[in-house]
């Protein structure tokens, strides 16, 4: 219901990734190919880490990304080695800045494509499971923001994969208690400014698409004539809802029920499954 | 921290009340005289009952009222015998449509000027007291909206004064449990499309200003030359945060800790005090 | 590049025409079938004549129509017997309220779907031809607004077809002087609150689509079971960029290079051709 | 009718200048002390030169600066050694992004506080004097933007003081032809990314306020304990509509009818007077 992109690697102008590629994220805001909705015009957001800052900046607005001048200005004048971009297609919740991704807490960013089924019925129980000390910071009305606060509650800053697994488990047990089948459908990206974790999961096992780019050294060997690749470090990576451009060999689908980590010095790909509380929670 | 106006009586163009009077609500958005904040530029809203409809329309936006063209257009082209107008000065919560007043539920409208002290600390406990069937309809992040949903929870549509008293009582007992002194400061207007209830109360006994206009027949006797008054029914009334115009004898302060009812066939003015639950709540 | 709808007839809620029909204008904002652009998300506008007012109200905003709550509110709570609706796909000019249709002058409304080719090169010469007394009222940067002011300059309020013909002629002679071929592509609707004139023309003879609805009495004979038709006068008409709904026999294409008039007491369909000044102009 | 600030010197976070000082520009958007209007809530803009780019970025929006989150985000995460900030109080023209300052052309930025009297009457003649090759780039409806395009027409990029003098002269002769007395009231800042030119002039000789900061080395001698000054180069300068903070000795009023240049290696202060064309122009 949304599309997103995460970039990690050699610092570049945001526009080189967000605007310039064929079938870029901004192009997907008008013409998505793989999404449930072909138009993602209900707001957008970018989050980026300036060179010497631990806390990221976030720019979000409620209009379509394709015609937003401030987005263009910032993207064409800002360099970063780690940034997120997100375009939104609302599934019913209000079109407001506080419902736009990425969400931020300290140096952490979070963005999501997907949906919690029948969220209106589950919203209260999920919100109650958020750490009371965090509850007051919820500003919007989306499932995505509640998922973020649940992950923070369950230890996101110490153990991202574990916290996301516990969040997913809670969503599923809560849904079961309410008789909501197949409640979770998600691709999530989260970062602390150094590593990026990207999750692909759905209760039904039919998750939204997610792709990770091939290592740049391998791509360069395949395409010695593509000048853009020459300026990038071997470890530069993109994780995206749907592929950009049409470079053969550039994109690898992230398997169902798995997550990847992208970080300097090497990433990894692992299976993902929700984690269910055995005790009183759930 | 906001200003509002409620009109009940002979159908008029909204602009005749919202724009034309000296020191109108729209003028107060730039130059409030009696508010804590002199500028109320963080959004606005109007709610009105079209002639033959039970459910009101609501127009809200996030910019200042003084320069909003859509507000001008609608106000200059819409007649109603019962409408609300509100201008917002945020006390920290996001400037978004879902934080603008009036709030609506079915045929009910609610608007508020004031604040719950230290709302961030109390927000979760107050939200938990909202009827679970209503919780998912909370869209914004203001104290005002939570107060509305609490009043709905406590029987607003059957007994407005009782429901508002129980809401105020819950806010005070919740605040006491968290060690927050003098938590409530409010002037509230609520309507079902027929009657308007207006409340003035603060825990500290130093409430924001609230005024109700004199009966039109009495005003006409005082000012036989004011042509505008000739077109209005005897029972037409305004309830306002601060007086409009400068007609001597036109405005009466609503006393501390009281509420008034404005309705066809006669209103009333009564004392208001919070109602505290004796049982396990609070 | 845009889509529009004009309604004239029995007063109805705007929403009955703008939102409820299958493939309504609001649906076309996301999924146009016949437009050059399938998404019309760069702003919208409606203009309507309240029952007892000669001057129309206009509501315009810069976001997409499909997610705008104020549009929904006004459309679901306002009745009118003559109104316009427009959704915009920018061809490069700024996304701002003053570039949204309909444009208004006194009791006249104007809206446009199409483009003046290479408008940047022609803009100054066209703007200079606007009556100097009107020039200062130009607020935006679109070709559509300049076309409106040219038509006003050429006598729109006295002779709409003649004024539009002279406007079209000026655009073509100005374009010729600049070496711009096939400069004009337009479907235009204009009204004074009583009659609606709708024009279909392009220099190249390949104009954007335009349809007018069949007389209601004829439609009722074809579809005696369609309840919505029973409430409408025989002369109620819609003029639209692309058909709504799927009622067989309901829609008639307006021929190339022609214009129609819809008014109480009977409309007409006539050929349209630009009118060229012979004297010093052009 | 507006307020602005120009910074040139040691690269700092924009927020250190725009948000942090007592009585900062953002504070002035709510509570200006020296302006004709105390509230400047009709839009804002910033323009800045990233470290290694000749063309500046511009962020502009239509809401008040005091509550805009994107402005806060960018200002707190962007460093620059040359930037402009502007807050707008509309004198009647539309509140739209294209009417917000600063205006940009290539690597030049322009911002203005003031007004051309009776601009509606003069607008067409002034616009006609704009170079036809530039005319189509006018996007908004303000006097300020037309002044910028006139200055560009009259050689701004080669000779800023001369071009601004010729622009001012044209405004005055055009106004005289229309019988408009005392037409020009302006403080203008313009930059090419290296030097900043700041002009204070009004036809009547009663110009809006303008101040330039004292050289940092002199200020440091006066205030050895102010730590912020220690990090700034001797030549760092601010030009502002009204003083920030309350540091004694920090601000110097720019005299009537004069302009200053701020640039690395030394600025200057010179008299300014309009320049009138003798030939066919004007």
C-alpha–C-alpha distance, residues A95 and C72, integer Å = 14
SS3 (DSSP) at B120: helix
C-alpha–C-alpha distance, residues C210 and C185, integer Å = 12
Nearest CA among C210, C192, C267 for reference residue C237: C267
Of A240-249, B68-77, B210-219, the least confident: A240-249
**Average pLDDT in the C57-71 region?**
96
Using the beta-carbon criterion (under 8 Å), do A74 and D57 form an inter-chain contact? yes
Closest chain A residue to the Cα of B132, Cα to Cα: A124
C-alpha–C-alpha distance, residues D29 and A170, integer Å = 46
At D134, list the tokens. 């530039």
Chain B residues in contact with D69 (beta carbon < 8 A): 94
Model confidence at C1, in pLDDT bands (50, 70, 90)? low
Helices (H), chain D: 14-18, 25-31, 69-77, 119-128, 132-135, 143-153, 160-177, 216-222, 227-230
Model confidence at D159, in pLDDT bands (50, 70, 90)? very high
Using the beta-carbon criterion (under 8 Å), do A63 and C67 form an inter-chain contact? no
Q: Within chain B, what is the greatest distance between any pair of CA atoms?
A: 59
Using the beta-carbon criterion (under 8 Å), do B59 and C76 form an inter-chain contact? no
Angle between helices B143-153 and B160-177 (to 10 degrees): 120
What count of other Cβ atoms lies within 10 Å of the Cβ of residue D223? Answer: 15
User: B3-271 domain in CATH 3.40.50.720?
Assistant: no
Cβ atoms of A172 and A196 within 8 Å: the answer is: no
At A67, list the tokens. 């015609």
Give pLDDT tens digits for D188-207. Answer: 999 999 999 999 999 999 99
Angle at D208 between CA D205 and CA D211, to 5 degrees: 110
Chain C residues in contact with D121 (beta carbon < 8 A): 136
Give the pLDDT of residue B23: 87
SS3 (DSSP) at D76: helix
**Min distance A30 CA to chain C CA atoms (Å):** 7
3-state secondary structure chain C: CEEEEEEEEEEEEHHHHHCCCCCCHHHHHHHCCCCCCCCCCCCEEEEECCCCCCCCEEEEECCCHHHCHHHHHHHHHCEEEEEEEEEECCCCCCCCHHHCCCEEECCEEEEEEEEECCHHHHHHHHHHCCCHHHHCCCCCCCHHHHHHHHHHHCCCCCCHHHHHHHHHHHHHHHHHHCCCCCCEEEEEEEECCCCEEEEEEECCCCCCCCEEECCHHHHHHHCCCCHHHHCCCCCCEEEECCCCCCCCCCEEECCCCEEEEECCCCCEEEECCCCCCCCCCC
Answer whether D73 touches A (CB < 8 Å): yes
C-alpha–C-alpha distance, residues C126 and D132, integer Å = 12
Q: Could you say which of C41, C62, C94 has the minimum Cβ distance to residue A41? A: C41
Q: Could you say which of C58, C60, C77 has the minimum Cβ distance to residue B57? A: C77
Answer whether B63 touches D (CB < 8 Å): yes
Give the pLDDT of residue A226: 86
Using the beta-carbon criterion (under 8 Å), do C50 and B77 form an inter-chain contact? yes
β-bridge partners, B112 = B188
- Chain C stretch 215-234, residues whose beta carbon is closer than 8 A to a beta carbon of chain A: none
In the predicted structure, residue B35 carries a pLDDT above the cut 80:
no
Give the pLDDT of residue B265: 85
More confident residue, D30 or A179: A179
Give the pLDDT of residue A27: 87
In the predicted structure, residue B38 carries a pLDDT above the cut 60:
yes
Using the beta-carbon criterion (under 8 Å), do C124 and D139 form an inter-chain contact? no
Subunits touching B (CB < 8 Å, at least 3 pairs)? A, C, D
Distance in angstroms between the alpha carbons of the first and the last residue of chain D:
27
Chain C residues in contact with D127 (beta carbon < 8 A): 127, 135
Contacts of D52 (CB under 8 A, 6+ apart): none
At D169, list the tokens. 């002269």
Phi, psi of C244 (to 5 degrees): -95, 155
Model confidence at D37, in pLDDT bands (50, 70, 90)? confident
Residue C45 to residues A14, A231, C70, C75, C103, Cα–Cα distance (Å) = 33, 47, 11, 11, 9
Over chain D, what is the mean pLDDT?
A: 94
Model confidence at A282, in pLDDT bands (50, 70, 90)? very low
In the predicted structure, residue B32 carries a pLDDT above the cut 90:
no
Give the pLDDT of residue D1: 62
Cβ atoms of D152 and D163 within 8 Å: the answer is: yes
Of A264-278, C44-58, D75-89, D182-196, the least confident: A264-278
Please confirm whether the linkage preceding B93 is cis (ω < 30° from 0).
Answer: no
In the predicted structure, residue A48 carries a pLDDT above the cut 90:
yes
What count of other Cβ atoms lies within 10 Å of the Cβ of residue A123? Answer: 21
Cβ atoms of C183 and C116 within 8 Å: the answer is: yes
Nearest CA among D243, D253, D217, D251 for reference residue D21: D243
Over chain A, what is the mean pLDDT?
A: 94
Give pLDDT tens digits for C198-223. Answer: 999 999 999 999 999 999 999 999 89
Sheet of strand D184-191: strand arrangement:
D103-105, D108-116, D184-191, D196-202, D258-262, D268-271
* Chain CA centroid to CA D1, Å: 12
Give the pLDDT of residue C109: 98
Give pLDDT tens digits for C80-125. Answer: 999 999 999 987 899 999 999 999 999 999 999 999 999 999 999 9
Domain boundaries, chain D: 3-271
Q: Could you say which of C53, C60, C73 has the minimum Cβ distance to residue B59? A: C73
Cβ atoms of A118 and A177 within 8 Å: the answer is: no
Q: Could you say which of D39, D62, D94 has the minimum Cβ distance to residue B63? A: D62
What count of other Cβ atoms lies within 10 Å of the Cβ of residue B154? Answer: 23
Chain B residues in contact with D30 (beta carbon < 8 A): 39, 41
Give pLDDT tens digits for A63-102. Answer: 999 999 999 999 999 999 999 999 999 878 999 999 999 9
Chain D residues in contact with A50 (beta carbon < 8 A): 77-79
**Average pLDDT in the A140-157 region?**
98
Closest chain A residue to the Cα of C93, Cα to Cα: A67
Contacts of C224 (CB under 8 A, 6+ apart): none
Nearest CA among B91, B176, B181, B191 for reference residue B126: B176
Of A178-192, B175-189, C244-258, D61-75, the least confident: C244-258
C-alpha–C-alpha distance, residues B222 and B214, integer Å = 11
* Chain CA centroid to CA A169, Å: 19
**Min distance C13 CA to chain B CA atoms (Å):** 11
SS3 (DSSP) at D215: coil
What does the DSSP assignment read for D195-213? -EEEEEEETTS-PPP-EEE
Q: Could you say which of B69, B74, B79 has the minimum Cβ distance to residue C74? A: B74
Answer whether C149 touches D (CB < 8 Å): no
Answer whether A39 touches B (CB < 8 Å): no
ipTM of the complex model:
0.94
Cβ atoms of C208 and C241 within 8 Å: the answer is: yes
Using the beta-carbon criterion (under 8 Å), do D59 and A73 form an inter-chain contact? yes
SS3 (DSSP) at A242: coil
Nearest CA among B114, B135, B130 for reference residue B163: B130
In the predicted structure, residue A234 carries a pLDDT above the cut 70:
yes
Give the pLDDT of residue B276: 96
CA dihedral C227, C233, C238, C244 (to 10 degrees): 0
Contacts of D252 (CB under 8 A, 6+ apart): D211, D212, D213, D214
What count of other Cβ atoms lies within 10 Å of the Cβ of residue A11? Answer: 18
In the predicted structure, residue B236 carries a pLDDT above the cut 60:
yes
C-alpha–C-alpha distance, residues A16 and B278, integer Å = 64
In the predicted structure, residue B282 carries a pLDDT above the cut 60:
no
C-alpha–C-alpha distance, residues B160 and B189, integer Å = 10
Please confirm whether the linkage preceding D102 is cis (ω < 30° from 0).
Answer: yes
In the predicted structure, residue B281 carries a pLDDT above the cut 80:
no
Using the beta-carbon criterion (under 8 Å), do B73 and C58 form an inter-chain contact? yes
* Chain CA centroid to CA A234, Å: 23
In the predicted structure, residue A15 carries a pLDDT above the cut 50:
yes
Give the pLDDT of residue A280: 44
Subunits touching D (CB < 8 Å, at least 3 pairs)? A, B, C
Chain A residues in contact with B97 (beta carbon < 8 A): 94, 96
Give the pLDDT of residue A126: 98
Residue C3 to residues A37, C7, C64, C74, C182, Cα–Cα distance (Å) = 21, 14, 13, 20, 21
SS3 (DSSP) at B159: coil
Give pLDDT tens digits for B172-228. Answer: 999 999 999 999 999 999 999 999 999 999 999 999 999 999 999 999 998 988 888
pTM of the model: 0.95
At D128, list the tokens. 């006609």
Model confidence at C145, in pLDDT bands (50, 70, 90)? very high
At D29, list the tokens. 């958007």
Contacts of C225 (CB under 8 A, 6+ apart): none
Model confidence at B1, in pLDDT bands (50, 70, 90)? low
Answer whether C62 touches A (CB < 8 Å): yes
């Amino acid at each position: 219901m949304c599309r997103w992109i995460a970039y990690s690697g050699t610092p570049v102008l945001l526009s080189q990734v967000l605007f310039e590629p064929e079938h870029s994220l901004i192009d997907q805001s008008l013409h998505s190919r793989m999404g449930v909705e072909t138009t993602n015009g209900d707001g957008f957001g970018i989050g980026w880490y300036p060179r010497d800052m631990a806390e990221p900046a976030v720019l979000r607005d409620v209009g379509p990304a394709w015609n937003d001048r401030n987005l263009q200005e910032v993207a064409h004048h800002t360099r970063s080695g780690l940034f997120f971009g997100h375009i939104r297609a609302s599934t019913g919740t209000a079109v407001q800045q506080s419902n736009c991704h990425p969400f931020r807490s300290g140096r952490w960013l979070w963005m999501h494509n997907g949906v919690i089924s029948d969220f209106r019925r589950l919203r209260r129980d999920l919100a109650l499971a958020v750490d009371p000390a965090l509850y007051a910071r919820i500003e919007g009305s989306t499932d995505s923001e509640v998922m973020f606060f649940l992950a923070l509650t369950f230890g996101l800053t110490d153990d991202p994969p574990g916290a996301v697994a516990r969040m997913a488990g809670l969503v599923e047990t809560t849904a079961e208690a309410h008789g909501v089948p197949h409640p979770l459908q998600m691709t999530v990206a989260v970062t602390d400014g150094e590593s990026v974790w990207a999750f692909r999961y759905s209760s039904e096992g039919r998750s939204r698409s997610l792709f990770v780019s091939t290592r740049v050294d391998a791509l360069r060997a395949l395409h010695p004539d593509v000048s853009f690749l020459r300026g990038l470090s071997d470890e530069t990576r993109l994780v995206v809802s749907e592929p950009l451009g049409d470079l053969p060999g550039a994109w690898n689908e992230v398997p169902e029920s798995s997550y990847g980590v992208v970080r300097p010095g090497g990433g990894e790909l692992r299976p993902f499954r929700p984690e269910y509380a055995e005790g009183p929670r759930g």
